[in-house]
C-alpha cells in the first residue's frame, strides 16, 4: 500500500488484459515445465531410487516456485487460482518444503501494489452515473488495503456515514474472463502436483467461485445475509452493507475501527486465546451450523473491535454446502476420533474424497493415520496450544522418517484420493484457520469446541455458552442440526 497515491510504484496497475498476453504467460509456464518434467522422468530411469526421489522433489519445488512467480505477476483469476492451489497436497515433497510452498501460494494476495486513484475514480463515475461528490462528502484517495481483484478506500457518505469502499480494478473482469478460459491449461501441472485430483471438476469449481467473486452485488448479498444471521451476536460482528450505494464493481459497507491481526499477535496469552476461539467459532459455526463455507479466512479479513467483538470482512468467496456433504465431514471426524478405519473409508467415499473404483487399493489403517495427522486438532477432544511451527496440524516430527520405498508406497496410496469440488473451500477454511491459530499461539480444547458444531455437543467454554444463549433467543441451536 502506497502513502503517495499520485506516485504509485512502477508496477502498479500493470494488468495484462489481452487474451494473447495472459494466455502466453500461462501457456509458456505449462510448456516449459512440461519439457523439464519429461526430462526429469527420463533421467530418473537410470538413477537410484534415492536420487530419483530427490530429483522429483527438486522439480516439484521448481514447478510450484514458478507458479508463484508467474501467477503473482497477474491480478485476477490467475492469482486466485494460485491461492486455491495452495490447498492441494503436493506429491513427493518433504513436509517442510510442502508447508513452505503452500505458504508462498497462500500469500499471493499480500503486498499487491495499488492502482492509481485516477483510474479507480473513472470506474466509480461510471458505476455511480456521476461525480463522487454526489455520493461521498469525503473520499481518501490513499488505498486502505489492496488484494487480488480490488482495493479498499475510506470515505464518508453525503449523509455522514463512515464507510469503506471496495473498488474492482479496472480491466480485471476482462482479464479474469481470459484466465478462466485458460484455467484448463494449468491442469497438467496440477495433475503432476497431485495425480489423484479430478482436475476438470476442480477447474470448474474454481471458475464458478472466482466468477462469483467478481460480482460485488452478489458479495453484498452474501455479507448482508451473514450480517442478518449474526446481528446482535455476543462476540462476532459483521459490517452492515450499504446496498443502496453498492454496484457490480463497487461495494460500500460501514467502517469499523479495530486492531489488525499483527497487533493482536502481540497481546497476552488470554487475549490471543479468546481471539483465536472467536475466529474458530465464526468459521466452523457458519459451516456446520449454517451450511456456509467462507473460503477466505485470511487474518487480514478480521479486526478486534474496542468492545471485544471480532469484526469479519470479505464475503466474496462463499459457497453453500449440501447437507449430505456436511454429514460426510461429520462422519469423517467421528471415525478419526473413534479410530475406526472401516468407517473412515466409508465416510471418505460418501464425501467424494475416495472414488469407489479406487477404494480397494487403499489401506484403511494408513488412511486413518494420514487423516489423524490432518484433522486430529479439531476432530479429537483434548487441550492443545498451537505454535507457528505446527500451525497446519499434527506433523510427523520426532518420528522416524520412512525410507524412499516406504514414501513411494505412501504416495501411491495418497494418489488414490481426490478433492471433491464442494470441499475445496472447506479444506481451504480448515487449513487457513489452523495457520491463524498457529500464528496466534492460541490454546484451547479445539476438539470439544468443534463438537458443538459437528455433533451438537453442549457448550465447552464461556463463549460457547454465550453463543448458545444468543442462538436460543433467535430460535436456533448451537448444535450440528441447527
**Rounded CA Rg of the chain:** 23
Residue 135 has what pLDDT?
Answer: 97
Say how far apart CA 82 and CA 227 lie, in whole Å.
29
34 is written with which cell numbers? Answer: 512440461
Say how far apart CA 415 and CA 418 lie, in whole Å.
7
Residue 84 has what pLDDT?
Answer: 52
Contacting residues for 27 by C-beta, under 8 A, at least 6 apart:
182, 185
- Is the Cα dihedral 428, 433, 436, 441 positive or negative? negative
Residue 212 has what pLDDT?
Answer: 82
pTM confidence score: 0.78
- Is residue 317 classed as helix, strand or coil in its secondary structure? coil
Instruction: Give the pLDDT of the chain (482 residues) as one tens digit per residue.
Output: 333 333 333 333 444 445 445 555 555 555 555 555 555 556 556 556 666 666 666 766 676 666 666 565 554 555 555 555 554 555 545 555 556 655 665 555 555 567 889 999 999 999 999 999 999 999 999 988 876 688 899 999 999 999 999 999 888 877 776 666 665 666 666 666 666 667 677 777 777 777 788 899 999 999 999 999 999 999 999 999 999 999 999 999 999 999 999 899 999 999 999 999 999 999 999 999 999 999 888 888 999 999 999 999 999 889 999 999 999 999 999 999 999 999 999 999 999 999 999 999 999 999 999 899 889 999 999 999 998 765 544 444 444 556 667 677 777 788 888 888 889 889 889 988 998 999 899 999 999 999 999 999 999 999 999 999 999 998 754 444 33
- Which of 239, 457, 433 has its CA nearest to residue 333? 457
Residue 193 has what pLDDT?
Answer: 61
C-alpha to C-alpha distances, 346 to 83, 364, 367, nearest whole angstrom? 30, 10, 11
What is the distance between the terminal CA atoms of the chain, rounded to a whole angstrom?
42
Residue 234 has what pLDDT?
Answer: 98
DSSP of 338-359, one letter per residue? Answer: HT-HHHHHHHHHHTTSS-GGGG
Domains of the chain by residue range: 1-214, 260-482
106 is written with which cell numbers? Answer: 497462500
- Note the Cα 207 to chain centre separation in Å: 15
Q: How many CA atoms lie within 13 A of 176 on its CB side?
A: 25
Q: Do 78 and 179 form a contact (C-beta atoms < 8 A)?
A: yes
Q: What is the DSSP letter of 186?
A: G
Residue 128 has what pLDDT?
Answer: 96
Residue 209 has what pLDDT?
Answer: 77
Amino acid at each position: 500500500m502506497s502513502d503517495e497515491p499520485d506516485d504509485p510504484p512502477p508496477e502498479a496497475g500493470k494488468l495484462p488484459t489481452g487474451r494473447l498476453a495472459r494466455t502466453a504467460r500461462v501457456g509458456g509456464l505449462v510448456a516449459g515445465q512440461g519439457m523439464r518434467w519429461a526430462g526429469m522422468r527420463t533421467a530418473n530411469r537410470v538413477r537410484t531410487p534415492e536420487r530419483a526421489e530427490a530429483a522429483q522433489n527438486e522439480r516439484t519445488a521448481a514447478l510450484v516456485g514458478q507458479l508463484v512467480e508467474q501467477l503473482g505477476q497477474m491480478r485476477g483469476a490467475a492469482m486466485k487460482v494460485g491461492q486455491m492451489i495452495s490447498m492441494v497436497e503436493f506429491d513427493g515433497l518433504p513436509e517442510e518444503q510442502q508447508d513452505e510452498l503452500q505458504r508462498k501460494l497462500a500469500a499471493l494476495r499480500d503486498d499487491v501494489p495499488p492502482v492509481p486513484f485516477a483510474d479507480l475514480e473513472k470506474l466509480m463515475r461510471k458505476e455511480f452515473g456521476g461525480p463522487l461528490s454526489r455520493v461521498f462528502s469525503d473520499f481518501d484517495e490513499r488505498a486502505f488495503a489492496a488484494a487480488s481483484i480490488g482495493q479498499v478506500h475510506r470515505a464518508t457518505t453525503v449523509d455522514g456515514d463512515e464507510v469503506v469502499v471496495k473498488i474492482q480494478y479496472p480491466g480485471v473482469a476482462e482479464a479474469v474472463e481470459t484466465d478462466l478460459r485458460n484455467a484448463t491449461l494449468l491442469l497438467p501441472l496440477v495433475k503432476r502436483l497431485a495425480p489423484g485430483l479430478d482436475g476438470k471438476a476442480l477447474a470448474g469449481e474454481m471458475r464458478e467461485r472466482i466468477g462469483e467473486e467478481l460480482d460485488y452485488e452478489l458479495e453484498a448479498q452474501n455479507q448482508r445475509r451473514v450480517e442478518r444471521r449474526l446481528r446482535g451476536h455476543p462476540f462476532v460482528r459483521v459490517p452492515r452493507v450499504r446496498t443502496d450505494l453498492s454496484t457490480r464493481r463497487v461495494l460500500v459497507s460501514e467502517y469499523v475501527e479495530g486492531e489488525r491481526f499483527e497487533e493482536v499477535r502481540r497481546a497476552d496469552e488470554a487475549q490471543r486465546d479468546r481471539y483465536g476461539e472467536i475466529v474458530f467459532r465464526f468459521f466452523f459455526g457458519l459451516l456446520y451450523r449454517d451450511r456456509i463455507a467462507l473460503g477466505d479466512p485470511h487474518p487480514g479479513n478480521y479486526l478486534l473491535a474496542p468492545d471485544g467483538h471480532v469484526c469479519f470482512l470479505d464475503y466474496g468467496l462463499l459457497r453453500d454446502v449440501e447437507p449430505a456433504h456436511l454429514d460426510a465431514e461429520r462422519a469423517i471426524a467421528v471415525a478419526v476420533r473413534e479410530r475406526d478405519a472401516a468407517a473412515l473409508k466409508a465416510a471418505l467415499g460418501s464425501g467424494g474424497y475416495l472414488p469407489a473404483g479406487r477404494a480397494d487399493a487403499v489401506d484403511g489403517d494408513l488412511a486413518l493415520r494420514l487423516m489423524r495427522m490432518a484433522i486430529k486438532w479439531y476432530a479429537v477432544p483434548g487441550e492443545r496450544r498451537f505454535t507457528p511451527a505446527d500451525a497446519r496440524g499434527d506433523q510427523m516430527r520426532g518420528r522416524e522418517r520412512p525410507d524412499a520405498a516406504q514414501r513411494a508406497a505412501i504416495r501411491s496410496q495418497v494418489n488414490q484420493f481426490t478433492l471433491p469440488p464442494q470441499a475445496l473451500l472447506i479444506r481451504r477454511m480448515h487449513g487457513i484457520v489452523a495457520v491463524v491459530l498457529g500464528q496466534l499461539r492460541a490454546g484451547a480444547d479445539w476438539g470439544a469446541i468443534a463438537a458443538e458444531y459437528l455433533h451438537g455437543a453442549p457448550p465447552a467454554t464461556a463463549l460457547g455458552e454465550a453463543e448458545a444463549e444468543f442462538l436460543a433467543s433467535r430460535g436456533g441451536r448451537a448444535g450440528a442440526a441447527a
